[in-house]
Structure 1
Amino acid sequence: MFKFNFSNENNKTKEEEILPPNTTWLESKKIEPNEDDDVLKDIFNNCEENSLDCKDVNIKYFSTVDVLNILKTNEDWASSEKLSVLSADQNHSDLQTAVYEGGLKIWECTYDLISYMVDENLNLNNKNVLDLGCGAGLIGLLCLAKGSSCTFQDYNAEILKYITIPNVRLNGEEDYLSKSSFHSGDWESFTDLIGIEKDEDKFDYIFTSETIYNAENYGKLHELFERLLKKDGEMYPYDRFYIISC
Protein backbone atom coordinates (compact mmCIF):
# COMPACT_ATOMS: atom_id res chain seq x y z
CA MET A 1 0.00 0.00 0.00
CA PHE A 2 1.23 3.50 -0.84
CA LYS A 3 1.82 5.50 2.33
CA PHE A 4 2.88 9.07 3.03
CA ASN A 5 5.55 9.07 5.71
CA PHE A 6 7.13 12.51 5.50
CA SER A 7 7.36 13.15 9.24
CA ASN A 8 7.15 11.32 12.53
CA GLU A 9 4.94 12.04 15.51
CA ASN A 10 7.63 14.22 17.08
CA ASN A 11 8.03 16.37 13.99
CA LYS A 12 4.58 17.80 13.34
CA THR A 13 4.25 20.47 10.70
CA LYS A 14 3.02 23.94 11.43
CA GLU A 15 -0.13 23.20 9.45
CA GLU A 16 -0.90 20.17 11.63
CA GLU A 17 -0.51 22.19 14.81
CA ILE A 18 -2.76 25.09 13.82
CA LEU A 19 -5.48 23.16 11.95
CA PRO A 20 -8.82 24.31 13.42
CA PRO A 21 -11.16 21.65 14.78
CA ASN A 22 -14.18 20.70 12.65
CA THR A 23 -12.68 22.28 9.55
CA THR A 24 -15.21 22.62 6.71
CA TRP A 25 -13.77 22.05 3.25
CA LEU A 26 -15.30 23.42 0.04
CA GLU A 27 -17.37 20.98 -1.99
CA SER A 28 -16.06 20.22 -5.45
CA LYS A 29 -17.83 21.63 -8.50
CA LYS A 30 -17.16 21.83 -12.20
CA ILE A 31 -16.17 25.28 -13.46
CA GLU A 32 -17.24 26.25 -16.97
CA PRO A 33 -15.29 28.84 -19.00
CA ASN A 34 -17.14 32.14 -19.38
CA GLU A 35 -16.22 34.46 -22.25
CA ASP A 36 -18.53 37.31 -21.21
CA ASP A 37 -16.87 38.10 -17.89
CA ASP A 38 -15.64 41.72 -17.78
CA VAL A 39 -12.84 40.77 -15.40
CA LEU A 40 -11.53 38.26 -17.93
CA LYS A 41 -11.54 40.93 -20.63
CA ASP A 42 -9.58 43.19 -18.29
CA ILE A 43 -7.05 40.40 -17.69
CA PHE A 44 -6.47 39.85 -21.42
CA ASN A 45 -6.19 43.57 -22.11
CA ASN A 46 -4.01 44.66 -19.21
CA CYS A 47 -2.02 41.78 -17.72
CA GLU A 48 1.61 41.18 -18.58
CA GLU A 49 2.32 37.92 -20.39
CA ASN A 50 5.17 35.76 -19.11
CA SER A 51 6.64 32.74 -20.86
CA LEU A 52 8.38 29.52 -19.85
CA ASP A 53 10.69 27.79 -22.31
CA CYS A 54 10.35 23.99 -22.18
CA LYS A 55 12.72 23.00 -24.99
CA ASP A 56 10.35 22.50 -27.95
CA VAL A 57 7.37 24.04 -26.12
CA ASN A 58 6.82 27.62 -24.96
CA ILE A 59 4.20 28.13 -22.26
CA LYS A 60 2.58 31.54 -21.90
CA TYR A 61 0.91 32.70 -18.70
CA PHE A 62 -0.40 35.91 -17.22
CA SER A 63 1.37 37.64 -14.35
CA THR A 64 -0.41 36.56 -11.17
CA VAL A 65 0.51 39.88 -9.57
CA ASP A 66 -1.30 41.73 -12.36
CA VAL A 67 -4.32 39.44 -12.05
CA LEU A 68 -4.47 40.05 -8.30
CA ASN A 69 -4.32 43.82 -8.84
CA ILE A 70 -7.24 43.62 -11.28
CA LEU A 71 -9.27 41.61 -8.77
CA LYS A 72 -8.47 44.12 -6.02
CA THR A 73 -9.37 47.18 -8.08
CA ASN A 74 -12.57 45.89 -9.69
CA GLU A 75 -14.95 47.28 -7.07
CA ASP A 76 -18.22 46.03 -8.56
CA TRP A 77 -16.91 42.51 -8.86
CA ALA A 78 -15.05 42.43 -5.54
CA SER A 79 -18.10 43.64 -3.64
CA SER A 80 -20.33 40.98 -5.20
CA GLU A 81 -18.12 37.98 -4.39
CA LYS A 82 -16.45 36.88 -1.17
CA LEU A 83 -13.04 36.11 -2.56
CA SER A 84 -10.71 33.93 -0.56
CA VAL A 85 -7.75 35.14 -2.60
CA LEU A 86 -8.40 38.75 -1.52
CA SER A 87 -8.78 37.68 2.08
CA ALA A 88 -5.44 35.88 1.92
CA ASP A 89 -3.79 38.92 0.34
CA GLN A 90 -5.13 41.21 3.06
CA ASN A 91 -3.73 38.84 5.67
CA HIS A 92 -0.38 38.60 3.84
CA SER A 93 -0.75 34.84 3.69
CA ASP A 94 -0.07 32.26 0.97
CA LEU A 95 -2.28 29.72 2.75
CA GLN A 96 -5.47 29.77 4.82
CA THR A 97 -6.52 26.23 5.64
CA ALA A 98 -9.80 25.23 3.96
CA VAL A 99 -10.27 28.84 2.76
CA TYR A 100 -7.44 29.59 0.34
CA GLU A 101 -4.87 26.98 -0.65
CA GLY A 102 -2.18 29.02 -2.41
CA GLY A 103 -3.35 28.82 -6.02
CA LEU A 104 -2.34 32.39 -6.86
CA LYS A 105 1.35 31.68 -6.27
CA ILE A 106 3.47 29.70 -8.71
CA TRP A 107 5.46 27.56 -6.32
CA GLU A 108 9.10 26.67 -6.94
CA CYS A 109 8.40 22.94 -7.21
CA THR A 110 6.13 23.59 -10.20
CA TYR A 111 9.17 24.64 -12.21
CA ASP A 112 11.16 21.67 -10.83
CA LEU A 113 8.46 19.20 -11.86
CA ILE A 114 8.19 20.73 -15.33
CA SER A 115 11.97 20.46 -15.74
CA TYR A 116 11.80 16.81 -14.71
CA MET A 117 8.97 16.10 -17.17
CA VAL A 118 10.90 17.73 -20.01
CA ASP A 119 14.23 16.07 -19.14
CA GLU A 120 12.60 12.63 -18.85
CA ASN A 121 10.69 13.21 -22.09
CA LEU A 122 7.52 11.67 -20.70
CA ASN A 123 5.19 10.30 -23.35
CA LEU A 124 2.19 12.62 -23.01
CA ASN A 125 0.64 12.21 -26.45
CA ASN A 126 -3.01 11.08 -26.29
CA LYS A 127 -2.81 10.72 -22.52
CA ASN A 128 -5.44 11.62 -19.94
CA VAL A 129 -3.83 13.86 -17.32
CA LEU A 130 -4.83 15.36 -13.98
CA ASP A 131 -3.07 18.56 -12.87
CA LEU A 132 -3.93 18.44 -9.17
CA GLY A 133 -3.72 21.71 -7.24
CA CYS A 134 -3.02 23.32 -10.59
CA GLY A 135 -2.89 27.03 -9.72
CA ALA A 136 -1.74 28.80 -12.88
CA GLY A 137 -1.93 25.49 -14.74
CA LEU A 138 1.61 25.40 -16.12
CA ILE A 139 1.98 21.63 -15.74
CA GLY A 140 -1.33 20.99 -17.47
CA LEU A 141 -0.43 23.43 -20.23
CA LEU A 142 2.75 21.49 -20.95
CA CYS A 143 0.68 18.31 -21.14
CA LEU A 144 -1.82 19.92 -23.53
CA ALA A 145 1.04 21.11 -25.73
CA LYS A 146 2.33 17.53 -25.83
CA GLY A 147 -1.02 16.16 -26.99
CA SER A 148 -2.78 15.25 -23.73
CA SER A 149 -6.26 16.00 -22.51
CA CYS A 150 -6.18 17.57 -19.06
CA THR A 151 -8.35 17.96 -15.99
CA PHE A 152 -7.31 21.03 -14.00
CA GLN A 153 -8.17 20.92 -10.30
CA ASP A 154 -7.65 23.70 -7.76
CA TYR A 155 -9.24 24.28 -4.38
CA ASN A 156 -10.52 27.79 -5.16
CA ALA A 157 -12.96 28.45 -8.00
CA GLU A 158 -11.70 31.99 -8.56
CA ILE A 159 -8.20 30.66 -9.26
CA LEU A 160 -9.60 28.50 -12.05
CA LYS A 161 -11.83 31.29 -13.40
CA TYR A 162 -9.29 34.10 -13.42
CA ILE A 163 -5.88 32.42 -13.67
CA THR A 164 -6.04 28.85 -14.97
CA ILE A 165 -8.69 29.24 -17.67
CA PRO A 166 -7.24 32.53 -19.03
CA ASN A 167 -3.85 30.81 -19.30
CA VAL A 168 -5.40 27.90 -21.21
CA ARG A 169 -7.08 30.37 -23.58
CA LEU A 170 -3.84 32.31 -23.96
CA ASN A 171 -2.01 29.21 -25.20
CA GLY A 172 -4.52 27.29 -27.24
CA GLU A 173 -7.87 29.04 -27.49
CA GLU A 174 -10.70 26.61 -28.28
CA ASP A 175 -8.40 23.72 -29.18
CA TYR A 176 -7.00 23.51 -25.64
CA LEU A 177 -10.34 24.28 -24.00
CA SER A 178 -11.99 21.40 -25.85
CA LYS A 179 -9.46 19.02 -24.28
CA SER A 180 -9.73 20.50 -20.78
CA SER A 181 -12.06 20.42 -17.81
CA PHE A 182 -11.87 22.43 -14.59
CA HIS A 183 -12.90 21.46 -11.06
CA SER A 184 -12.68 23.32 -7.76
CA GLY A 185 -13.00 22.14 -4.18
CA ASP A 186 -11.71 19.57 -1.75
CA TRP A 187 -9.93 16.44 -3.00
CA GLU A 188 -12.36 14.05 -1.30
CA SER A 189 -15.46 15.57 -2.88
CA PHE A 190 -13.61 16.01 -6.20
CA THR A 191 -12.86 12.28 -6.27
CA ASP A 192 -16.52 11.53 -5.59
CA LEU A 193 -17.78 14.12 -8.08
CA ILE A 194 -15.99 12.87 -11.17
CA GLY A 195 -16.69 9.26 -10.14
CA ILE A 196 -14.57 7.40 -12.69
CA GLU A 197 -15.20 3.65 -12.46
CA LYS A 198 -13.76 2.06 -15.62
CA ASP A 199 -9.98 1.76 -15.66
CA GLU A 200 -9.74 2.90 -19.29
CA ASP A 201 -11.39 6.22 -18.33
CA LYS A 202 -9.00 6.95 -15.47
CA PHE A 203 -5.88 9.11 -15.61
CA ASP A 204 -2.63 8.01 -17.24
CA TYR A 205 -0.74 10.63 -15.23
CA ILE A 206 -1.47 12.58 -12.07
CA PHE A 207 0.86 15.50 -11.37
CA THR A 208 0.85 17.58 -8.20
CA SER A 209 3.45 19.91 -6.70
CA GLU A 210 3.73 21.64 -3.31
CA THR A 211 0.41 20.18 -2.15
CA ILE A 212 1.62 17.70 0.49
CA TYR A 213 1.83 20.14 3.40
CA ASN A 214 -1.31 19.33 5.39
CA ALA A 215 -1.37 15.93 7.10
CA GLU A 216 -5.19 15.97 7.24
CA ASN A 217 -5.23 15.62 3.46
CA TYR A 218 -2.85 12.66 3.13
CA GLY A 219 -5.70 10.15 3.31
CA LYS A 220 -7.72 12.09 0.72
CA LEU A 221 -4.74 12.17 -1.64
CA HIS A 222 -4.08 8.45 -1.21
CA GLU A 223 -7.75 7.69 -1.92
CA LEU A 224 -7.68 9.93 -5.00
CA PHE A 225 -4.64 8.12 -6.39
CA GLU A 226 -6.20 4.72 -5.74
CA ARG A 227 -9.54 5.57 -7.34
CA LEU A 228 -8.55 7.83 -10.24
CA LEU A 229 -5.19 6.51 -11.51
CA LYS A 230 -5.09 3.73 -14.09
CA LYS A 231 -3.59 0.43 -13.01
CA ASP A 232 -0.59 1.13 -15.23
CA GLY A 233 -0.72 4.90 -14.67
CA GLU A 234 1.95 7.08 -13.09
CA MET A 235 1.67 9.69 -10.35
CA TYR A 236 4.18 12.43 -9.62
CA PRO A 237 3.73 14.14 -6.23
CA TYR A 238 6.45 16.79 -5.87
CA ASP A 239 7.39 18.47 -2.62
CA ARG A 240 10.31 20.80 -1.95
CA PHE A 241 12.02 18.02 0.05
CA TYR A 242 10.54 14.87 -1.51
CA ILE A 243 10.27 13.70 -5.12
CA ILE A 244 8.08 10.64 -5.64
CA SER A 245 7.26 8.91 -8.91
CA CYS A 246 5.10 5.79 -8.78
Structure 2
Amino acid sequence: TDLVKYKYEGGFKLWECSEDLVEFMTSNLNFVEENVKNKNILELGCGHSLPSIHCLLYCNANICAFQDYNHDVIENLTIPNIIVNLNDEKLLDKTMERCEFYSGDWGFMSEQQLNKFDLILMSDTIYHVDSYDRLYRAIKSSLKKGGKVLCGAKSYYFGCGGSTKQFKEFIQQKEGSNVKIETVKDIMDGTSNVREILLFT
Protein backbone atom coordinates (compact mmCIF):
# COMPACT_ATOMS: atom_id res chain seq x y z
CA THR A 1 0.00 0.00 0.00
CA ASP A 2 1.13 3.58 -0.62
CA LEU A 3 0.12 4.79 2.86
CA VAL A 4 -0.02 3.27 6.34
CA LYS A 5 -1.17 5.96 8.75
CA TYR A 6 1.37 6.82 11.49
CA LYS A 7 3.79 4.18 10.13
CA TYR A 8 4.58 4.85 6.49
CA GLU A 9 3.63 7.92 4.48
CA GLY A 10 4.47 6.79 0.95
CA GLY A 11 8.08 7.97 0.81
CA PHE A 12 9.30 5.20 -1.50
CA LYS A 13 6.67 6.02 -4.13
CA LEU A 14 7.49 8.62 -6.78
CA TRP A 15 4.57 11.06 -6.55
CA GLU A 16 3.81 12.94 -9.76
CA CYS A 17 3.51 16.36 -8.13
CA SER A 18 7.24 16.25 -7.35
CA GLU A 19 7.86 16.09 -11.10
CA ASP A 20 5.45 19.01 -11.54
CA LEU A 21 7.55 21.14 -9.19
CA VAL A 22 10.74 20.33 -11.09
CA GLU A 23 9.04 21.21 -14.37
CA PHE A 24 7.76 24.47 -12.88
CA MET A 25 11.22 25.51 -11.72
CA THR A 26 12.80 24.48 -15.01
CA SER A 27 10.29 26.65 -16.88
CA ASN A 28 10.37 29.63 -14.49
CA LEU A 29 13.98 30.75 -14.24
CA ASN A 30 13.05 34.11 -12.73
CA PHE A 31 11.40 32.28 -9.83
CA VAL A 32 14.56 30.21 -9.35
CA GLU A 33 16.81 33.27 -9.49
CA GLU A 34 14.74 35.06 -6.87
CA ASN A 35 13.78 32.20 -4.56
CA VAL A 36 16.28 29.34 -4.95
CA LYS A 37 19.73 30.59 -5.96
CA ASN A 38 21.91 31.07 -2.84
CA LYS A 39 18.83 30.41 -0.66
CA ASN A 40 18.09 27.87 2.06
CA ILE A 41 15.56 25.27 0.88
CA LEU A 42 13.52 22.72 2.84
CA GLU A 43 11.48 19.93 1.27
CA LEU A 44 8.82 18.49 3.58
CA GLY A 45 7.80 14.91 2.83
CA CYS A 46 10.72 14.60 0.45
CA GLY A 47 10.78 10.89 -0.53
CA HIS A 48 12.69 10.75 -3.84
CA SER A 49 13.44 14.46 -3.33
CA LEU A 50 13.40 15.42 -7.01
CA PRO A 51 12.51 19.10 -6.38
CA SER A 52 15.14 19.68 -3.69
CA ILE A 53 17.79 17.73 -5.60
CA HIS A 54 17.03 19.95 -8.58
CA CYS A 55 17.55 23.01 -6.35
CA LEU A 56 20.75 21.59 -4.89
CA LEU A 57 22.47 20.46 -8.08
CA TYR A 58 21.08 22.70 -10.82
CA CYS A 59 19.86 25.91 -9.16
CA ASN A 60 22.78 26.69 -6.85
CA ALA A 61 20.80 26.60 -3.62
CA ASN A 62 22.86 27.40 -0.54
CA ILE A 63 21.50 24.71 1.79
CA CYS A 64 18.96 21.99 1.03
CA ALA A 65 17.21 20.22 3.88
CA PHE A 66 15.35 16.97 3.30
CA GLN A 67 12.56 15.81 5.63
CA ASP A 68 10.59 12.58 5.45
CA TYR A 69 8.40 10.77 7.94
CA ASN A 70 10.49 7.60 7.72
CA HIS A 71 14.22 7.40 8.46
CA ASP A 72 14.44 4.38 6.12
CA VAL A 73 13.34 6.60 3.24
CA ILE A 74 16.04 9.19 3.99
CA GLU A 75 18.75 6.55 4.35
CA ASN A 76 17.81 4.18 1.54
CA LEU A 77 16.25 6.49 -1.03
CA THR A 78 16.86 10.21 -0.51
CA ILE A 79 20.63 10.11 0.10
CA PRO A 80 21.32 7.53 -2.66
CA ASN A 81 19.20 9.66 -5.02
CA ILE A 82 21.38 12.70 -4.32
CA ILE A 83 24.51 10.66 -4.98
CA VAL A 84 23.28 9.07 -8.22
CA ASN A 85 22.21 12.46 -9.59
CA LEU A 86 25.52 14.11 -8.72
CA ASN A 87 27.48 12.46 -11.57
CA ASP A 88 30.80 13.54 -10.07
CA GLU A 89 32.18 11.79 -7.00
CA LYS A 90 34.75 14.56 -6.52
CA LEU A 91 31.93 16.93 -5.59
CA LEU A 92 30.26 14.52 -3.16
CA ASP A 93 31.76 15.81 0.10
CA LYS A 94 31.17 19.48 -0.71
CA THR A 95 27.63 18.74 -1.89
CA MET A 96 26.74 16.77 1.23
CA GLU A 97 28.03 19.63 3.39
CA ARG A 98 25.16 21.68 1.95
CA CYS A 99 22.58 19.06 2.95
CA GLU A 100 20.59 18.53 6.13
CA PHE A 101 18.39 15.51 6.84
CA TYR A 102 15.42 15.19 9.18
CA SER A 103 13.10 12.24 9.79
CA GLY A 104 9.96 12.02 11.86
CA ASP A 105 6.50 13.50 12.11
CA TRP A 106 5.87 17.14 11.21
CA GLY A 107 5.16 17.71 14.89
CA PHE A 108 8.84 17.00 15.47
CA MET A 109 9.81 19.56 12.83
CA SER A 110 7.69 22.21 14.53
CA GLU A 111 9.62 21.66 17.77
CA GLN A 112 12.95 22.40 16.07
CA GLN A 113 12.10 26.10 15.59
CA LEU A 114 14.56 26.37 12.69
CA ASN A 115 13.15 29.61 11.23
CA LYS A 116 15.81 29.73 8.57
CA PHE A 117 14.41 28.53 5.26
CA ASP A 118 13.69 30.93 2.41
CA LEU A 119 11.61 28.41 0.46
CA ILE A 120 9.71 25.30 1.52
CA LEU A 121 8.81 22.72 -1.13
CA MET A 122 6.00 20.19 -0.74
CA SER A 123 4.69 17.55 -3.14
CA ASP A 124 1.53 15.52 -2.47
CA THR A 125 1.65 16.31 1.26
CA ILE A 126 -1.90 17.58 1.78
CA TYR A 127 -3.87 14.37 1.21
CA HIS A 128 -5.09 14.03 4.84
CA VAL A 129 -7.04 16.89 6.40
CA ASP A 130 -6.14 15.74 9.90
CA SER A 131 -2.45 16.37 9.18
CA TYR A 132 -2.95 20.01 8.19
CA ASP A 133 -2.34 21.44 11.64
CA ARG A 134 0.96 19.56 12.11
CA LEU A 135 2.04 20.52 8.60
CA TYR A 136 1.14 24.16 9.23
CA ARG A 137 3.14 24.22 12.47
CA ALA A 138 6.14 22.64 10.73
CA ILE A 139 6.00 25.32 8.04
CA LYS A 140 5.51 28.11 10.55
CA SER A 141 8.50 27.07 12.65
CA SER A 142 10.82 26.38 9.71
CA LEU A 143 10.17 29.32 7.40
CA LYS A 144 12.20 32.51 7.59
CA LYS A 145 10.23 35.75 7.82
CA GLY A 146 9.30 36.71 4.27
CA GLY A 147 9.82 33.13 3.06
CA LYS A 148 7.63 31.29 0.56
CA VAL A 149 6.03 27.87 0.18
CA LEU A 150 5.69 26.11 -3.19
CA CYS A 151 3.22 23.24 -3.00
CA GLY A 152 2.41 20.71 -5.72
CA ALA A 153 -0.84 18.87 -5.04
CA LYS A 154 -3.83 17.16 -6.57
CA SER A 155 -6.99 19.24 -6.52
CA TYR A 156 -8.66 16.39 -4.62
CA TYR A 157 -7.30 13.19 -3.07
CA PHE A 158 -9.90 10.48 -3.58
CA GLY A 159 -10.05 8.08 -0.64
CA CYS A 160 -8.02 10.37 1.62
CA GLY A 161 -10.22 13.46 1.80
CA GLY A 162 -7.67 16.24 1.39
CA SER A 163 -7.85 18.89 -1.34
CA THR A 164 -6.16 22.09 -2.43
CA LYS A 165 -9.36 23.99 -1.64
CA GLN A 166 -9.45 22.72 1.95
CA PHE A 167 -5.77 23.37 2.50
CA LYS A 168 -5.98 26.92 1.16
CA GLU A 169 -8.98 27.58 3.40
CA PHE A 170 -7.15 26.12 6.40
CA ILE A 171 -4.08 28.33 5.84
CA GLN A 172 -6.22 31.38 5.17
CA GLN A 173 -8.09 30.77 8.42
CA LYS A 174 -4.79 30.53 10.32
CA GLU A 175 -2.97 33.43 8.67
CA GLY A 176 -5.71 35.75 7.39
CA SER A 177 -4.32 38.77 5.54
CA ASN A 178 -0.75 37.75 6.42
CA VAL A 179 -0.68 35.25 3.57
CA LYS A 180 -1.26 35.49 -0.16
CA ILE A 181 -2.18 32.26 -1.93
CA GLU A 182 -2.11 31.87 -5.69
CA THR A 183 -2.36 28.96 -8.08
CA VAL A 184 0.66 29.47 -10.32
CA LYS A 185 -0.04 26.43 -12.50
CA ASP A 186 -2.88 24.02 -13.28
CA ILE A 187 -1.99 20.63 -14.75
CA MET A 188 -4.72 18.82 -16.65
CA ASP A 189 -2.99 16.13 -18.69
CA GLY A 190 -5.90 13.69 -18.81
CA THR A 191 -3.85 10.91 -17.20
CA SER A 192 -4.67 11.59 -13.54
CA ASN A 193 -6.52 13.94 -11.21
CA VAL A 194 -6.22 17.64 -11.92
CA ARG A 195 -3.08 18.92 -10.23
CA GLU A 196 -2.08 22.39 -9.07
CA ILE A 197 1.00 24.27 -7.97
CA LEU A 198 0.25 26.69 -5.16
CA LEU A 199 2.47 29.54 -4.03
CA PHE A 200 2.11 30.88 -0.49
CA THR A 201 3.78 34.23 0.21
Query: Which residue does 1:244 correspond to in 2?
Result: 198
The alpha-carbon deviation at position 186 of structure 1 amounts to 0.2
Q: Secondary structure at the match of 2:199?
A: coil
What is the alpha-carbon distance in structure 1 between the residues aligned to residue 68 and residue 95 of structure 2? Answer: 18
Q: Secondary structure at the match of 1:136?
A: coil
**Alignment of structure 1 residues 83-102 onto 2, 5 Å:** 93-102=1-10
| Residues 171-220 of structure 1, C-alpha deviations (whole Å, 9 max, x = no match) | 1521221100111110011221x3225xxxx1110000101011111011
Q: Secondary structure at the match of 2:79?
A: helix
Q: Secondary structure at the match of 1:244?
A: strand
Q: Give the counterpart of 1:147 among 60, 68, 74.
A: 60
Q: Give the counterpart of 1:138 among 26, 40, 50.
A: 50
| Residues 13-65 of structure 1, C-alpha deviations (whole Å, 9 max, x = no match) | xxxxxxxxxxxxxxxxxxxxxxxxxxxxxxxxxxxxxxxxxxxxxxxxxxxxx
Query: Which residue does 1:49 correspond to in 2?
Result: none
Q: Which runs of 4+ in 1 moved over 3 A?
A: none
Tell me the TM-score normalized by structure 2.
Answer: 0.70
Correspondence 1:222 to 2:136: yes
Q: Give the counterpart of 1:195 among 99, 105, 113.
A: 113
Q: Give the counterpart of 1:175 among 94, 119, 123.
A: 94
* Contact map agreement 2:9 2:69 (CA 8 A) in 1: yes
What is the alpha-carbon distance in structure 1 between the residues aligned to residue 139 and residue 68 of structure 2? Answer: 16
Q: Percent identity?
A: 36
Larger radius of gyration, structure 1 or 2? 1
The alpha-carbon deviation at position 234 of structure 1 amounts to 0.9
* Contact map agreement 2:18 2:49 (CA 8 A) in 1: no
Correspondence 1:158 to 2:76: no
* Contact map agreement 1:168 1:176 (CA 8 A) in 2: no
Structure 2, unpaired ranges of 5+: 156-163, 165-196
Larger strand percent: 2
Structure 1, unpaired ranges of 5+: 1-92
- Structure with greater contact order relative to length (CA < 8 Å, sep ≥ 6): 1
Tell me the TM-score normalized by structure 1.
Answer: 0.58
Q: Secondary structure at the match of 2:46?
A: coil
What is the alpha-carbon distance in structure 1 between the residues aligned to residue 53 and residue 95 of structure 2? Answer: 9
